[in-house]
């Protein structure tokens, strides 16, 4: 999946340089899947309470945001491009990581600790496929990677800074709708494998709770189908094909709920899962 990004906002350029340095670059005349422009708003909003806009193929993607939110807007717009055009995939709001050829899908609403868990896992032996979008091929059920920086919010930023000394983040953006947001650079060896698909083996619904012991609980498959369906961006659009892909996915996987309050304990649970 290839993007061409144009921006007149220096903060976007700095963030791209910091977080995407390991990614292959397109030549100017090469085909790309998505053309995205993140630019300062015209008119009054260029000067007074300046704003930034995102356009895909010339059409606005979201409402304008404060200029200081330009890089998060870029990442959100990239996610939007993928979720609205992944017609050959069932797309889920879920992180997904892989180890030993088997992928674990981590679906969860915002605030559940999904991205924190994902960011920790990719620094403890798991390969990042995506921290936000799980794409399940309708043709063969394999997960197609969308390897991009991991979005972290609020306390998670400090937690991951402590958990991964030396981790590279974008400059934090404050006062977004999600609070303070920063993006974590993906390890280069994961970027190098960004085209390697994987078969799913587990669906794990994470939930962070302060002080909670790391606990994995088996979930019935019908319940998993319903809950995963709620986390799907496009099952209704895909119709029966999307449902079959979802049901096949659940059929193939062991399904669990996962509660945790400590990252080290969580890593131990996932180590045991990988060894099973």
Partner 1 sequence: MSPVIQLHWRDWGGDSVVFEARSGLTQQFDPLSAAAMACIESGVTDLGELSQQLAEDLGTQPDSTLVESLCTLLERLTKLGWIEPQPLQD
Q: Is 251 in the site for partner 1 (CB under 8 A)?
A: yes
Whose structure tokens read 């045991």? 272
Q: How far is the CB of 241 from partner 1 (least distance, A)?
A: 10
Which residue lies nearer to partner 1 by CB, 223 or 264?
223
Question: Minimum distance between the CB of residue 109 and partner 1, rounded to whole angstroms?
Answer: 18
Which of 60/222 has CB closer to partner 1?
A: 222
Beta carbon nearer to partner 1, 14 or 252: 252
Closest to partner 1 by CB, 39 or 244: 244
Query: Rounded to an integer, what distance in angstroms lies between the CA atom of residue 266 and that of residue 252?
Result: 23
Query: Shortest gap between Cβ of 225 and partner 1 (angstroms)?
Result: 5
* Of residues 53, 40, 56, the one with CA closest to residue 3: 56
Q: How far is CA 150 from CA 6, 74, 97, 174, in A?
A: 21, 13, 12, 17
Nearer to partner 1, 158 or 223 (CB): 223
Task: Residue 15: count other Cβ atoms within 10 Å of its Cβ.
Answer: 25
- Beta carbons of 179 and 153 less than 8 angstroms apart: yes
Within positions 138 to 197, which residues make up the interface with partner 1, using CB under 8 A? none
Dist. CA 274–CA 104, nearest whole Å: 9
Pick out residues in 207-236 that bind partner 1 (CB under 8 A): 220-223, 225-226, 229, 235-236
Find all residues with CB under 8 Å of 272, minimum gap 6, and list them. Answer: none
- Nearest CA to 169 out of 72, 81, 54 is that of 72
Binding window for partner 1 (CB under 8 A); candidates: 60-68, 106-114, 153-161, 243-251: 243-251
Tell the smallest beta-carbon distance from residue 85 to partner 1 (Å). 19
Q: Say how far apart CA 108 and CA 204 lie, in whole Å.
A: 9
Q: Which is nearer to partner 1, 187 or 229 (CB)?
A: 229
Contacts of 47 (CB under 8 A, 6+ apart): none
Six-digit token string for 86: 């992944």
Whole-number minimum distance, CB 94 to partner 1, in Å? 17
239 binds partner 1 (CB under 8 A): yes
| Nearest CB to partner 1, comparing residues 97 and 249 | 249
Please report whether residue 87 would count as binding partner 1 according to CB under 8 A: no
- Counting every residue written for the chain, the total comes to 276
State which of residues 138, 214, 247, 269 lies at the interface with partner 1 (CB under 8 A).
247
- As to burial, measured by CB atoms within 10 angstroms (0-12 exposed, 13-18 middle, 19+ buried), residue 47 is exposed
**Least distance from C-beta 226 to partner 1, angstroms?**
6
8 A C-beta contact, residue 62 and residue 76: yes
Count of residues in contact with partner 1, rule CB under 8 A: 16
Interface residue with partner 1 among 39, 154, 244, 259 (CB under 8 A) is 244
- State the residues that interact with partner 1 by CB under 8 A: 220-223, 225-226, 229, 235-237, 239-240, 243-244, 247, 251
């Amino acid at each position: 999946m290839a993007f061409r990004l144009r921006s007149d906002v220096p903060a976007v350029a700095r963030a791209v340089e910091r977080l995407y340095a390991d990614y292959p670059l397109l030549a100017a005349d090469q085909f790309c899947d998505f053309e995205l422009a993140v630019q300062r708003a015209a008119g009054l909003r260029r000067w007074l309470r300046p704003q930034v806009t995102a356009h895909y193929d010339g059409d606005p993607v979201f409402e304008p945001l404060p200029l200081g939110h330009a890089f998060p807007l870029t990442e959100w717009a990239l996610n939007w491009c993928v979720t609205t055009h992944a017609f050959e995939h069932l797309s889920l709001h879920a992180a997904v990581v892989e180890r030993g050829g088997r992928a674990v899908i981590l679906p969860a609403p915002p605030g559940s600790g999904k991205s924190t868990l994902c960011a920790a896992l990719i620094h403890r032996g798991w390969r990042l496929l995506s921290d936000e979008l799980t794409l399940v091929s309708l043709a063969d059920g394999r997960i197609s990677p969308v390897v991009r920086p991991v979005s972290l919010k609020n306390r998670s930023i400090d937690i991951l800074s402590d958990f991964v000394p030396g981790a590279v983040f974008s400059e934090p953006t404050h006062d977004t709708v999600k609070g303070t947001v920063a993006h974590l650079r993906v390890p280069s060896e994961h970027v190098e494998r960004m085209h390697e698909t994987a078969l799913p083996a587990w669906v794990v619904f994470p939930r962070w709770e302060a002080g909670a012991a790391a606990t994995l609980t088996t979930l019935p498959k019908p319940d998993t189908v319903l809950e995963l369906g709620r986390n799907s961006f496009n099952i209704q659009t895909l119709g029966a094909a999307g449902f079959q892909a979802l049901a096949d996915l659940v059929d193939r996987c062991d399904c669990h709920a996962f509660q945790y309050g400590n990252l080290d304990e969580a890593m131990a649970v996932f180590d045991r899962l990988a060894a099973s």
